[in-house]
Each structure stands twice: as C-alpha cells, then as structure tokens.
Structure 1
Amino acid sequence: MSFRIRAARDEDLQPLYEMAKLTGGGFTNLPPDRAALKAKLDRSHAAFARADDGIADELFVLVLENTATGEVRGTCQIFTQVGQRYPFYSYRIGTLTQHSQELDRTFRADMLTLATDLEGCSEVGGLFLHPGERAGGLGMLLARSRYLFIAKHRARFADRILAELRGIIDEAGGSPFWDGLAGRFFGMNFQDADQFNAVRGHQFIADLFPKHPIYIAMLSETARAAIGLPHPSGRAAMRMLENEGFAFENYIDIFDGGPTMTARTDQVRTIREAVSAEVVGTDADRGEPMLVAAGRLADFRCAYAKARAEGDQVEIDSVCATALDLRVGDTVNIVGRL
C-alpha cells in the first residue's frame, strides 16, 4: 500500500468534512462545517496559483492520499503569515515578583498576559490522520511534508514558525481552561466559542476579551492544571515537534490553554537537513528509508521511499517513483526518515 501527500482539490471537500467530524472538537483548523472548509480550499487554491515569490497572507492545504484507492485519509495545513487579517492572540505565561520589606518576603505570582508577540510567524497546523491509518508512520509523513514544502518555497514563509497543539478537552467536549477563564467573560461554552472561531475568525476576542493580566492563582484548580498541556491525542505530535527543534516558550492558546511551540524556520530539522538531488534511477531494490518531495506549488507531492543517495544524485524505489510520477532526470528534495 502506498500513500502520497499532494495539494488539496475541490473534490476533497467531502472527505475533509468527514474527517472534521471525527476530531472531537477543539480542532479550529478543521471545523465540521462545509462552508468553512470550502473557504479554506478556495484560499488554498489561490495560494497554489500565485507563481511569484514573497510572503503574503496565504494558506496551503495538503492531503494524504492512498494511491491504490484514491481515498483521502489525512490532511495538514500551512499558514504563511499569521495575524494579518485579525490579530493573532496568545497568552504569555510570565512572573511578577514583588518584595515586602515589612514582611521580609518576596512574592512571585504567575500571570497570563494577552499578547500578539507571534504575529507575522508562519504556522503549521490542521494535521489530522484518519483513525484507521494511525500506523506505518503516516502521521510523520503528514507532519514532515509541510517542512519539505516550506523548504521548496522558502521565500514565501517567515523566519519564525509556530504550531499550536490542542489543549485538554473533557469527556463532555468542554475545556477546563475556557470554563475557568474566558467562559466567564463571554457567556458561551467552549463548543460554541470554538465553532464560532473556526467559522468566523476570532475578532470577537479583540472585542470582548479582558486586556489586563490574569493571576493564575485566581483560576480554578482544573483550569490551572490544563495550562500548557496538550490533549492526550496530541502528545505524539508534541514529541514530533520537539524532534524537529520546536520548543515551548510559555505561549498558550487562548481558548483551551494548549501549548504553542515555536522554532526558527531555518533551524527546523527537516528544512535544515533536506537536500536537492537528481533522480538517476527509479527501481532501487534496497536503500535507506527517506522522504522524497517533488514538484512546486499545486504539483507538490511527497512520499516515503527506499533510496540510495550519493552526492547530488539519488536512486529511488519503483513504488515511490510511481506514487510521485518521477522519471530519471527529475529533481527532488530528500531527507532521511527519523
């Protein structure tokens, strides 16, 4: 069985919608709303169609396709520059230190401050793999394909990159962090706020959210416990991000308190280690496991391969060559499989 990553098309709307219904909530970049998903596809088509380089406010949607059946079994997204249409809000965790001479004591209070520090960064997000395919490294293929896409179109992305991980969601679909903080100001539950944000954007945050710092000690115990923790299903994603060089630098999502990971774009491991090579053979019967990416923009595609690389030349196996429609003489980007 062979899988490849490719650009999303209009006919992918239905499988994207079906996958969105499986996310369980709190997955803002993949809302179970046809109109919102169609708008994402339209925006992605426009980004793929723009041929000139340079950073703009764009979104690229990629999908994981089973090449034997044509079924779409996963998806991921890349935002080139966040915070251009609406402010990109995060909570920054900080500490306020005060000293009392009378008591001869120093008091340190952890605080949450609403910030737009990450505005202008690129973002990788929207990664979802169908539950029936969570084996064989397909989640890793989805995740790392985004970095190979960035490497092939580096001028269209910022020098800093972020990834927001979904936070703790309880069995009822609610968010302890939201209930303990923002829900008190907005008069709506997490599910309603999450859906509103996914479909209409989060300008309402700018309109209604308290701008003053929040003392963490004043939050409920359940809200405090959720700060900076990923959803259990996102722990593997967090490890993958850390392996790529991302770090948690005290920024959290304003809705569910999940961690925001950041990195310097050129220091992301896959981007740093990817090299360009000419295909000199398409029937390698053995070799090292690698990721291979070919094509630009809407022609971009990526898959696993068994490959033998030497200098700026590479031989790949026939399965990968077929999946990516590669021929001798083509140029690809390759990187070792972690």
Structure 2
Amino acid sequence: MTFLIRAATPDDLQHIYEMAKRTGGGFTNLPPDRKALTAKLERSAEGFARTEDTLGNDLFVFVLENTATGEVRGTCQVFSAVGLKWPFYSYRIGALTQHSEELGRTFRADILNLSTDLEGATEVGGLFLHPGERSGGLGMLIARSRYLFIRNHRPRFADRTLAELRGVIDEAGGSPFWDGVAGRFFGMNFQDADEFNAKYGNQFIADLMPKHPVYIAMLTEHARAVIGVPHPTGRAAMRMLENEGFAWENYIDIFDGGPTMTVRTDQIRSIREAQDSQVTLLDAGLGDHLRGEKRLVACGKLADFRTTYGWVEPDGDGIALDPASAARLGIEPGMTVTHVARW
C-alpha cells in the first residue's frame, strides 16, 4: 500500500480535471471545467492557510496520491459550512393530511418543500476514485480521511454534517427528476443546469424556482420513482455513510432528487472512535501475515495533514508503527498520530 491522502495543490489541477471528465454528470462539486477547478484549488489554499481556528466559509480539497509513482488517483472535499455566501437549497419531503366528513375519507398528500434547513452545516463531498483503483479499501481511505481532518480541526466545522449523493441519471445524461420538476420552470436541460450550478452556484434557483410546495402525485412516474434514490454507482458510498452514522431524513437534491444524508458531527463514527497516540517505535515486523492491526493513521495540521493505512500495535503507553507508513507520513518516534480501526 503506497497511497497517501494529502492537501491538494495547484500542481494537481490536471489530475483533478482528468478525473472530473470521468464523473458522467450530476457531480456538482467536481465539474470538468478548468476555470471552476482552479477557483476551487485557490479557495482551498486560502482555507488551509487561514490561521483563525474558527468556523468560516472554507473549502478543503484533498487528493489520493500513489507515492510510488506520484500519480493522483482520487480526490475529495470538505466544505466547513454551506449556505454562508448564498442559500443552500434542498427539497424536504413532507405530507399534508386532509379529511372530508362528507366522503368519510382522509387524504394524505406527499409534497416537496423548498428548504434551507441545512444552511450552516458542514458538507463532505466531491469524492471521486479513479476506476482503476476501486479496490483495496482506497474509497474508504478517501472518505474517512475527511472525518479525521474534521476531528483534528473541530472548531472549524459545524455541529451538523451532510453529504449529498448523486441521484439517478439516465443513459443520455439526463435526470428524470429534473425533467419532472425544476426543468419545467427553467427552460434548460439537466446537463446545462448542472454545469451552470457547478461553475456559478445555485443563486439562479432562488431567482426562478417557485416557492410553493410541489405535490409528488402530480409528477411523472419516472420522476416519482427516483426521489431519494442514489445513482447506482453511489450505493456503496451510501452504505459507508450509514456505517458512519449518517441517515436520510427526507432531504433530497433539488437537481437530481438524490438523497441528502445528515449526522451530528460529533456522532460520526470515525470521529468518535479515533484515538491520539505517541509513536514510540518503528517496527519492521509489523505488516501482512505478521503482527499488528491495519488502521487509518493521520498526522499534521491543515496543509500538512496526511492520512494513510498503517500497521499499528500497542507499545507501552504509545504505539508501534510500521516504517513504510511512517515514511509516507513523515513520522518519527516521539511524534503523535491519530488512528482509527479499519472496518
């Protein structure tokens, strides 16, 4: 295992752009647009450089690097708080119950309410792993490294965390949900709206989206069928989120109808179970079929933050760590790392 999670730099632009072209649409946080990606990397650099240990309008972009080849093979993002610059919209699924005495019947109508309930929450997103690396637990390494970063910079993040899962996209790159709801009001197809949102933000939603509830029963069958359903490629990501404690509480994305998962930040499993330990020994005897437990190991602050898989074993009041992972992290005996079980 030669992979490492680290802060993205401007030199990673081409790698990230190539990955963005592979997403297949509906991936708002990773648009295949150099200008938009450059702006993200610049904003990320500002967030990593900010010295105030407080909640701000920060974006942190990370990459997965193969340290043996220098190739970047994955990426992910953390937004410290959404909705600080412009509103963060979701649809919340609710219900309206009405009763008719004359008919002796009660009617329950499911409705979509345009909502900004999730404003101010931290968001984890923008996760993409190169198709050639989707094995060996690398997706888990990317996803969970974000939680360790949040834990070790806790004052910079909100008390609630969300994750938007991409919704169902058809073979032509369209969205049945967009076509059935928002597309009727905007005069543009899903691809154009998704691209515009990725580049310029979703203020146009505030300007044009009708504010009254949308009755689900009035939507097409295709639109109703995909509400709250993740894209097939996102099902594994949904299971990982659920393992961390995220739950779907009837919030969906306004573009493609995908589920928005939420959790109290301090209840994220990786955050709750992570430990800080001093490395007392580098032990070459740790590793496959030998001794030790394979764990996620992280160290460093802000732009120096790193995460990798390492072999760990208790050693007195601290831990022993295998030399290979210590070298990737730049760790020497006497330094402290954060580590959590791989599950």
Instruction: State the partner residue of 1:331.
Output: 336
By how many angstroms is 1:322 displaced?
Answer: 1.3
Q: Which amino acid aligns with 1:74?
A: G
Match of 1:213 in 2: 213
Sequence identity percentage: 71
Q: Classify the secondary structure of the residue corresponding to 1:148.
A: helix
1:310, CA displacement in angstroms? 5.4
**Structure 2 counterparts to residues 133-148 of structure 1, below 5 A:** 133-148=133-148
Q: Does 1:159 align with 2:164?
A: no
Aligned residues: CA RMSD: 0.8
Counterpart of 2:192?
A: 192
Matches within 5 A, 1:7-26: 7-26=7-26
- Judge conservation of contact 2:44–2:59 (CA < 8 Å) in 1: yes
> Which residue of 2 is the match for residue 80 of structure 1?
80
Which of residues 290, 297, 300 is equivalent to 1:295? 300
* TM-aligned CA deviation for residue 312 of structure 1: 5.2
- Between the aligned partners of 1:207 and 1:311, the Cα distance in structure 2 is 61
Q: Which 5+ residue runs of structure 2 have no aligned equivalent?
A: none
- Mapped to 1, the partners of 2:315 and 2:324 lie a distance apart of 20
Letter in 1 for 2:222: T
Amino acid in structure 2 at the alignment position of 1:317: D
Distance in 1, Cα, partners of 2:324 & 2:172: 44
Give the superposition deviation at 1:283.
2.1
Q: Does 1:108 align with 2:137?
A: no
Mapped partners of 2:3, 2:320: distance in 1: 19
**One-letter amino acid of the structure 2 residue matched with residue 290 of structure 1:** R
Residues 59 and 79, structure 2, Cα contact 8 Å, conserved in 1: yes
User: Equivalent residue of 1:107, what SS?
Assistant: strand
Contact 1:307 1:317 in 2 (8 A): yes
Q: Name the SS for the 1:174 alignment partner.
A: coil
- Conserved? CA contact 2:58–2:80, under 8 Å: yes
Change (3 A) 1:249 1:323: same
Q: Distance in 2 between matches of 1:312 and 1:146?
A: 27
User: 2:268 corresponds to which residue?
Assistant: 268
Q: Distance in 1 between matches of 2:307 and 2:280?
A: 18
Residues 67-113 of structure 1, C-alpha deviations (whole Å, 9 max, x = no match): 10111000000000000111000000001000000001000000000
What residue in structure 1 maps to residue 255 of structure 2? Answer: 255
State the TM-score, normalizing by the size of structure 2.
0.97
Partner of 1:67: 67
Asked if the contact 1:28–1:195 (Cα under 8 Å) also holds between the matched residues in 2, the reply is yes
Consecutive unaligned residues in structure 1, runs of 5 or more: none
Equivalent position of 2:324 in the other structure: 319
Q: Secondary structure at the match of 2:120?
A: coil
In the TM superposition, what whole-angstrom CA distance separates every residue of 1:32-56 from its partner, at most 9, and x where no partner exists? Answer: 0000000000000000001220100
Q: How far apart, in 1, do the equivalents of 2:220 and 2:317 lie?
A: 57
Superposed, 1:29-68 pairs within 5 Å as 29-68=29-68
SS in 2 for 1:172: coil
Q: Who is 1:244 aligned against?
A: 244
Divergent runs of 4+, >6 A: none
Residues 277, 331 of structure 1: 8 Å contact kept: yes
Letter in 1 for 2:310: A
Instruction: Please list the CA deviations of residues 202-232 of structure 1 after superposition, one character each: whole Å capped at 9, or x if unmatched.
Output: 0000000010000000000000000000000
Could you say if the C-alpha distance between residues 310 and 250 of structure 1 is closer, same or farther in structure 2, counting changes exceeding 3 Å?
Answer: farther
Q: Structure 2 CA distance, aligned partners of 1:282 and 1:128? A: 32
Instruction: Give, in angstroms, the shift of residue 306 of structure 1.
Output: 1.1
Structure 1: how far apart are the matches of 2:315 and 2:339? 12
Counterpart Cα distance in 1 of 2:282 and 2:60? 29
TM-aligned CA distance change 1:320 to 1:210, over 3 Å: same
Question: Following the alignment from structure 2 to structure 1, what is the Cα–Cα distance between the partners of residues 317 and 325?
Answer: 18
Q: CA deviation at 1:317?
A: 1.0
Q: Does 1:98 align with 2:98?
A: yes
2:113 partner amino acid:
T
Report the Cα offset of residue 311 of structure 1: 7.2
* SS at 2:16 equivalent: helix
2:114 aligned counterpart, secondary structure: strand
8 A contact 1:162–1:260 mirrored in 2:
yes
Distance 1:114 1:308 in 2: 50
TM norm structure 1 = 0.99
